[in-house]
């Protein structure tokens, strides 16, 4: 009997064991669950010439910034699928390989062509989705809308599929349709609770609609079912730490940091390691709480090993947080010089917003709040181009508002806060008090 994946697409293997393990490995990947690598390795061992487990395994390597292994596996998958693979499988391997190689424009074009022909190829469809997907890191200003529209265009092919509902709902939330997005995401979550991406997407909806207590309860009840080695374990706790900060509970936020986010404790992929640590510590400081210098130094030292060179704009912005907070002007200037060179050469997809954020963060750390405001004001609407989620990018908006407050531009700060919180108006007064409290150290 011919084998198929869970979405009914044929698989070029005659091995029952390989097909079963591949289906299982893909589901674990789509759920962000532990065991994905080991399950895919079983598929490879059962049929070494079956290309799809190799390219899926390459993607897991890429999640953890294991670039050489990822590219090697992708190259092997290309060779294998050329010898034994359908047209769909060859296109599948190519789209994933281009993404793994960091060739974003080509990967996006390949993905869109593929989805037009095979809309139920979930692993390829997953490439542009989420806060760290191809669309988010493309430099597009409308990547939230693009994800939502892509999901809408293929929704008829998925129905009540747990993975699709999770990602389509999150795309709605990020595009501003928060109530509908939360409902759709919760439907997907209820279909498969062992789904870290669903838990994560629900937390984003709760962040946007101001359900801080409900988000905290969700994490407390659900996180014991998810191993610490899970790809999103630390990041989900980061969301819980944000909730603690919203309630001005710095001690709890720091306790969560010590438990799962600091370098000595985390098991997260490198990009999450640096972004979650830098953003939480910076928020704590901006809101007027004391952050031990040793925490910044430890996190910065680890980050420098993980991201020694300029790469994704989203990573670079968080490296700027480390450099600014530790007053490492040399590191900040060196990375900024590379970024400006890339911009001049047309090789910085996110554009001028990146160096502007660098200068603003440096000014904020130097307590030159007027300069911070002047750097960010012209590009505030362009921050979306760096990628990530709205919850993550809010860090830049918060920095701008705190800088306005510390520059005594209170009316402008309050007006911006009220405009920005149109999704969760119930939080406006509490957020104002939180950000204004930054003057504890200002």
Quick check: 163 and 147 in contact, CB under 8 A?
Answer: no
Question: 71, 95, 127: which is the final residue of a domain?
Answer: 127
Question: 127, 144, 179: which is the final residue of a domain?
Answer: 127
The span from the CA of 422 to the CA of 410, in Å, is 19
Cα-Cα-Cα-Cα torsion 84, 86, 87, 92, nearest 10 degrees, comes to -80
State the DSSP code for 226: S
- pLDDT tens, position by position, 199-237: 999 999 999 998 999 999 999 999 999 999 999 999 999
The pLDDT of residue 442: 41
- Domain containing 105 equals 3-127
Cα-Cα-Cα-Cα torsion 85, 122, 272, 189, nearest 10 degrees, comes to -150
pLDDT at 438 over 70: no
Task: State how beta strands 3-4 and 10-11 pair.
Answer: antiparallel
The span from the CA of 353 to the CA of 406, in Å, is 23
174 lies in some domain: no
195 lies in some domain: no
Q: Which residues pair with 11 in a beta bridge?
A: 3
At which residue do the structure tokens 């800088």 appear? 403
Neighbours of 37 (CB within 10 A): 16
Quick check: 253 and 239 in contact, CB under 8 A?
Answer: no
The span from the CA of 299 to the CA of 61, in Å, is 23
The span from the CA of 190 to the CA of 335, in Å, is 44
The CA-atom distances, in angstroms, between 48 and each of 200, 318, 383, 440 are 34, 40, 44, 61
pTM for the predicted model, two decimal places = 0.94
At which residue do the structure tokens 């047209």 appear? 87
Between 101 and 436, the higher pLDDT residue: 101
Cα Rg of the chain, angstroms: 22
Question: 95, 127, 159: which is the final residue of a domain?
Answer: 127
Select from 376, 372, 377 the least CA-distant residue to 362: 372
Quick check: 321 and 361 in contact, CB under 8 A?
Answer: yes
- pLDDT tens, position by position, 139-192: 999 999 999 999 999 999 999 999 999 999 999 999 999 999 999 999 999 999
132 lies in some domain: no
What totals of helices (H) and strands (E) does the chain contain, helices first? 23, 2
Select from 362, 359, 367, 431 the least CA-distant residue to 394: 431
211 lies in some domain: no
321 lies in some domain: yes
**pLDDT interval class at 432 (50, 70, 90):** confident
- pLDDT tens, position by position, 36-67: 999 999 999 999 999 999 999 999 999 999 99
The span from the CA of 236 to the CA of 389, in Å, is 13
214's tokens: 């409900």
Indicate the number of domains in the chain: 2
* Residue 35: CATH number of its domain: 1.25.40.10
Cα-Cα-Cα-Cα torsion 82, 87, 92, 94, nearest 10 degrees, comes to 50
- pLDDT tens, position by position, 398-413: 999 999 999 988 888 8
The span from the CA of 363 to the CA of 243, in Å, is 27
146 lies in some domain: no
Mean of the per-residue pLDDT values of the chain: 94
167 lies in some domain: no
107 lies in some domain: yes
């Amino acid at each position: 009997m011919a084998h198929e994946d869970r979405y009914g697409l044929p698989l070029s293997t005659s091995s029952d064991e390989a097909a079963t393990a591949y289906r299982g490995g893909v589901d674990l990947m789509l759920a962000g669950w532990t065991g994905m690598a080991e399950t895919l390795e079983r598929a490879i061992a059962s049929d070494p010439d079956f290309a799809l487990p190799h390219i899926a395994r390459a993607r897991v390597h890429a999640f953890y910034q294991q670039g050489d292994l990822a590219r090697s596996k992708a190259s092997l998958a290309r060779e294998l699928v050329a010898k034994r693979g359908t047209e769909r499988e060859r296109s599948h391997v190519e789209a994933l390989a281009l993404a793994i190689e960091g060739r974003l424009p080509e990967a996006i074009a390949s993905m869109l062509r593929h989805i037009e022909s095979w809309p139920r190829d979930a692993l390829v469809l997953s490439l542009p989705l989420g806060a760290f997907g191809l669309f988010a890191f493309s430099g597009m200003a409308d990547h939230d809308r693009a994800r939502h529209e892509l999901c809408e265009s293929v929704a008829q092919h998925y129905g009540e599929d747990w993975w699709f509902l999770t990602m389509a709902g999150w795309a709605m939330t990020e595009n501003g349709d928060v109530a509908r997005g939360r409902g759709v995401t919760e439907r997907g979550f209820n279909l498969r609770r062992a789904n870290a991406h669903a838990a994560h997407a629900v937390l984003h909806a709760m962040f946007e609609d101001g359900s801080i207590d409900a988000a905290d309860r969700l994490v407390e009840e659900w996180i014991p079912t998810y191993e610490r080695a899970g790809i999103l374990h630390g990041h989900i706790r980061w969301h819980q730490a944000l909730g603690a900060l919203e309630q001005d509970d710095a001690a709890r936020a720091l306790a969560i940091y010590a438990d799962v986010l600091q370098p000595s404790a985390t098991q997260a992929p490198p990009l999450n390691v640096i972004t979650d640590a830098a953003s939480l510590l910076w928020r704590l400081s901006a809101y007027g709480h004391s952050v031990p210098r040793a925490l910044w130094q430890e996190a910065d030292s680890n980050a420098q090993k993980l991201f020694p060179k300029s790469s994704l704009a989203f990573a670079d912005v968080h490296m700027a947080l480390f450099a600014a907070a530790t007053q490492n002007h040399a590191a900040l200037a060196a990375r900024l010089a590379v970024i400006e060179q890339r911009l001049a050469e047309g090789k910085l997809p996110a554009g001028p917003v990146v160096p502007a954020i660098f200068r603003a963060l440096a000014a904020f750390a130097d307590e030159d709040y007027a300069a911070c405001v002047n750097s960010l004001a012209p590009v505030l609407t362009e921050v979306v181009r760096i990628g990530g989620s709205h919850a993550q990018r809010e860090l830049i908006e918060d920095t701008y508002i705190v800088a306005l407050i510390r520059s005594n531009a209170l009316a402008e700060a309050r007006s911006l806060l009220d405009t920005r919180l149109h999704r969760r108006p119930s939080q406006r007064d509490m957020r104002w008090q939180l950000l204004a409290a930054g003057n504890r150290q200002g």
